[in-house]
Amino acid sequence: MVPYIDMHCDTLMRAWMRRRSDLLHLKGMVDLARLGAGGCKAQFFAVFLPPVELVRRLGPLFPSDEDYIKKCIAIFHHTAQLHPDLLAQAKTFEEIEKNAAAGKLSGILTLEDGRAVNGRMEHLDRFYRMGIRLISLTWNAPNCFGEPNGSSGGLTSFGREAVAHMNRIGMMVDVSHLSDRGFSEVAEICRQNGKPFVASHSNCRALTPHPRNLTDEMIRALADCGGVIGVNFGPDFLEQGQPRFRKESRIAAIVAHLKHMIRIGGTDCAAIGTDFDGINGRLEIGSADRMPLLFEALEREGFAADAIEKIAFRNVERVLRETIY
Ligand SMILES: [Zn+2]
C-alpha cells in the first residue's frame, strides 16, 4: 500500500457539530479506522472556522472563535489520548518520522481562516504554541490577512507582515481560498525569505475555471518557491458545469488535475488535499480508506513508482522539512 499525506480535511468541525470527541469511528469520510485502512501516514486536521453568517444563525450554540478552536483541538488531543497506539500529533517533520516508525498516524493541526488571528502578531505566536502549524490565510471572506478568492484585492499590511512572521517562526502559509493578488504577494514574500508555501486544497484553473483553482502562472510561481498543491476531490473544483444535484468527483478528473500540475510545475509540486468532510456529491473516492484507488489509477496511467510516492507523500514531506519546526 502506498503511504500518503493529506493536507486538508474538515473532520474536526464535523465531529464538533456532532458532539463527538473520539475520531476512531465516525460516519463521515475521515476517521482513524479509515485512515489506517487507506494507508495514511499524516493527516492535516483543519480547524475550520464556520462562516460568520452560520455563526450568527447558530447564536448561543456557537462559542467564540477562540473557544471553538480550543474545543476542536481538544477533540484531536482526546482522540490521541484514547488511542495512543494509533494517533500522535506531529509538529515537525521529525515527529512524523518518529510516529511512522512506531506505526502511528501523525495528525498536523491547521487553521482554516486566519480571522481568529485578529490582526495581532501575538495571536499568531499563541496559535503556534497551541500546535497549529499551517494557516489558510483566508476562507471566502475578507479578514485581517487579506481578500479571498474572487476578489481583486490582495493582502493587508498586517497580512504581509504576518506571512513574513510565519516564515520565521515555522508555520506553513496556505494560499487556498486567497485572492489572486494575495497569492502573488505571498509568493513574493516567501521567495524573498527562501521558504516554500502551499495551496493545501486547490486545483487547476486551466481545466476548471473556478476562482479557488490556480492559474498556470500561479502553479509556476508556487513550484518556483518549492511549494506544493494538494489536489482537491470536491466536484466543483474538478469539473465545470456539473448538474446541481448530481455532482460527481471522478478519479479520472483528479488524475487529470495532477497531470496538469505536473506538466506546468513539475513532479515536485503535486500533492493531495482531499477536503474530505468539507465536500459532497457522488465521490468515487469518498473516504480515506478508498485512497489506494487513486494510486492504482496513477499506476495504470503510467506514473512511475517514484512519481506516485512524490505525489502521495514525498513532496509534502520536503515542504514540511523546510517550513515547520
Ligand atoms: Zn477550504
Report, as an integer, the average pLDDT of 176-203.
Answer: 98
- Average per-residue pLDDT in the chain? 97
Q: How far is CA 199 from CA 21, 36, 177, 214, 299, in A?
A: 29, 25, 9, 9, 24
Distance 140 CA to ligand 1 centre (A): 9
Nine cell digits for residue 245:
444535484
Distance 12 CA to ligand 1 centre (A): 13
> Which H or E element spans position 229?
strand 228-231
pTM: 0.98
Distance 139 CA to ligand 1 centre (A): 7
Distance 3 CA to ligand 1 centre (A): 23
pLDDT at 254: 98
Distance 201 CA to ligand 1 centre (A): 7
**DSSP 8-state secondary structure symbol assigned to residue 298:** H
Model confidence band, residue 70 (pLDDT cutoffs 50, 70, 90): very high
- The answer to whether the CB of 133 falls within 8 A of the CB of 125 is no
Give the whole-angstrom CA distance, residue 95 versus residue 133.
Answer: 13
3-state secondary structure of 154: coil
How do residues 110-169 score in pLDDT, each as one tens digit? 999 999 999 999 999 999 999 999 999 999 999 999 999 999 999 999 999 999 999 999
How do residues 250-291 score in pLDDT, each as one tens digit? 999 999 999 999 999 999 999 999 999 999 999 999 999 999
Distance 275 CA to ligand 1 centre (A): 7
Give the whole-angstrom CA distance, residue 68 versus residue 193.
Answer: 33
List of domains in the chain: 4-323 (3.20.20.140)
- The answer to whether the CB of 65 falls within 8 A of the CB of 143 is no
Distance 176 CA to ligand 1 centre (A): 7
Report, as an integer, the average pLDDT of 13-25.
Answer: 96
